[in-house]
Amino acid sequence: MASFVVGLRRFLGALALLLLAHQAAAAEPPAFVGRSGSKLVVNGSPFLFNGFNAYWLMNVASEDQAKVSKTLSDAAAAGLTVCRTWAFNDGGNPSLQSSPGVYNEKMFQGLDFVVSEAKNHSIRLILSLVNNFKDYGGRSQYVQWARDAGESIQTDDDFYTNAKVKQYYKNHVQKVLTRVNTITKVAYKDDPTILSWELMNEPRCEVDYSGQTVTAWVKEMAAYTKSIDSKHLLQVGFEGFYGNSTPDKIKLYNPNGYQLGTDFITSNQVNEIDYTTIHAYPDIWLQGQSEEARKTFLQQWFSSHWNDSVKVLGKPLVFAEFGKSKTAPGYSQKVRDDFFSYVYDVIYSDAETSGGSFSGGLVWQVMGDGMESYYDGYEVVLSQDSTTTAVIKKQSDAMAALEKRLSGSHH
């Protein structure tokens, strides 16, 4: 009898705890990631993360949801909490937008699944709205649509200036932001699972290297995006190339002094842009140069953009793409692990020094199993590449601990 009562009490106690835990989880309002000065914040405290790219999630989800679930659950197990992916696939087959304003519902439901499943794994999404490059349609597909509609188009760079093309782009922005998720029933613009929008993956412009054309486009599209959705953060999608507003920095920091038609400073000065991004591929950008030269470049790339983000722009910085290709000369898994560790150490120490202005990094790219057809040399298959996964996990834990420490000192 007595032992029955103790047993019952234990059982009820455990049940009460379970219910409490459940209530706490259910009661906690999902919070949007916001910005306070040069920091990303959530619930008033600095938001730090370790994250990854997986551009293909929507496409794969429209065909094979299990692969998306596996990728997201492996990522969550490695402590990754932010994922950057494409909310576009223009023209082509299969596509999200097959022609201007015409959408493939099955593909859109793939994106619904990605958002819902990310939420279930406590992963936040950065959703990019168009590509600079031809993969998945991009700028080139948009101007082709306008050409087909009788517009006089000179080059793909008319994307930034042709009124009809700009309207097509705005229509797409509106379509995605106001989409009501068929699984969660929440409109994308109201869903805190989405960390931010990205105007374009890696904007570039050949007809105007100064950066002014792209900055004018950023101004117009950033204002438009925020007019539909003022809850979410917004970023451009830049690699970080300097333009005409900082001639000294073009020479000092752009790889080989190249200009690619963007101006890191003037575009990121636009009011509606909340945080800055850089990408870095020194193996490709500095071909034929020594490992030492690449490391020096990377150090300066970090340091100059971080200085500019915090001191000139007063906005947080995210390292939105970096990776190590298996095709790089001298590649080994150890070389990749060392490279990741190096990048992670810089992110961590800058995040620590600044109390959170360097918010985190996104490795290109992470995959679950059975994704061979998406291998691009940069893939990290979390369940198979155990040493790299350990390096990633270590950084996730470090950033989470730092976030905790910084929010502790915040109250």
Ligand X SMILES: *[C@@H]1O[C@H](CO)[C@@H](O)[C@H](O)[C@H]1NC(C)=O
- Active-site positions? 202, 321
- Counting contacts by CB under 6 A, is residue 354 touching ligand X? no
Q: Which is nearer to ligand X, 230 or 307 (CB)?
A: 307
CB 116 → ligand X: shortest distance, Å?
A: 4
CB 410 → ligand X: shortest distance, Å?
A: 24
Alpha helices for 149-268 (secondary structure H)? 163-177, 212-228, 247-253, 264-268
Q: Which is nearer to ligand X, 353 or 384 (CB)?
A: 353
CB 220 → ligand X: shortest distance, Å?
A: 31
Under rule CB under 6 A, how many of the chain's residues touch ligand X?
9
By CB under 6 A, name the one of 77, 183, 335, 402 that touches ligand X.
183
- Of 283-302, which residues contact ligand X (CB under 6 A)? 300
Q: Which is nearer to ligand X, 300 or 332 (CB)?
A: 300
Report CA dihedral (377, 378, 382, 387) to the nearest 10 degrees: 90
- Counting contacts by CB under 6 A, is residue 312 touching ligand X? no
- Counting contacts by CB under 6 A, is residue 303 touching ligand X? yes
108 burial via Cβ count (<10 Å: 0-12, 13-18, 19+): buried
Q: Which is nearer to ligand X, 80 or 234 (CB)?
A: 80
- Counting contacts by CB under 6 A, is residue 307 touching ligand X? yes
Side-chain half-sphere exposure of 394, counting CA atoms within 13 A: 15
DSSP assignment letter at 370:
T
By three-state DSSP, how is residue 271 classified?
A: coil
Q: Give the whole-angstrom CA distance, residue 210 versus residue 243.
A: 5
CB 228 → ligand X: shortest distance, Å?
A: 25
- Of 99-138, which residues contact ligand X (CB under 6 A)? 113, 116-117, 120
Residue 364 and residue 323 in contact, taking contact as beta carbons nearer than 8 Å: yes
Number of C-beta neighbours around residue 212 at 10 A: 17
Q: Give the whole-angstrom CA distance, residue 111 versus residue 129.
A: 12
By CB under 6 A, name the one of 268, 304, 309, 354 that touches ligand X.
304
Beta-strand runs (E) in 201-340: 233-235, 276-280, 317-322
Q: Which is nearer to ligand X, 141 or 354 (CB)?
A: 354
Binding site for ligand X (CB under 6 A): 113, 116-117, 120, 183, 300, 303-304, 307
